[in-house]
Amino acid sequence: MLRNVEIKAKVRDLGDTVSKAKKLSNSEGTWIKQDDIFFRIPQGRGRLKLRTFEDRSAELIFYDRPDSDGPKLSKYDKCSVPNGSQMSSVLSFALGVEGSVKKKRQLFMVGQTRVHIDYVEKLGNFMELEVVLSEDQTLDEGKLIAQSLMADLGVRKEDLVSGTYMDLLLK
């Protein structure tokens, strides 16, 4: 499985956060519209979602990570799906749907880290950092990179969020 170190945080000042991300990445970022459908799977087994993009392409993503609010290890795997609506229908019938999340994401690359600034329908503005680990990198190395970027982007401990956007919507 692939691995990354992740954090999720509430964004207090969208303009400031975007400005800092642009400076760190030396880019304007890339806008991505994503609709995620979460499927029911046995508890304790991670999460399974189908992510559909604006062009109707999709990815099936399974991931497992703790629901804690600091930098944490996420193990994941994903595959491209040629027909997202057909896959959604099959998985909905087989597993049932937990819920869905619609978001607009601005993606910035800072070294090996994906910086996502998300507008999530019904929730507001958030930021995610995903430090993509190479096979030989340790969790501690990934956490140090995440903590450094958190400082550079002005993320405070009280901004950190545990769980997923789906969890927040279900509350």
Q: What is the pLDDT of residues 33-71, one digit of tens each?
A: 999 999 999 877 789 999 999 988 999 999 998 888 889
Which among 118, 122, 87, 99 is positioned nearest to 17, based on CA atoms? Answer: 118
Pick out the chain residues at pLDDT < 50.
none
The three-state secondary structure class of 133 is: coil
Q: Which helix (H) or strand (E) holds 165?
A: helix 165-170
**Which CATH class, in words, describes the domain spanning 2-170?**
mainly beta
Domain ranges of the chain: 2-170
The three-point CA angle 27-57-125 to 5° equals: 50
CA distance 27 to 24: 8
Q: Specify the pTM.
A: 0.92
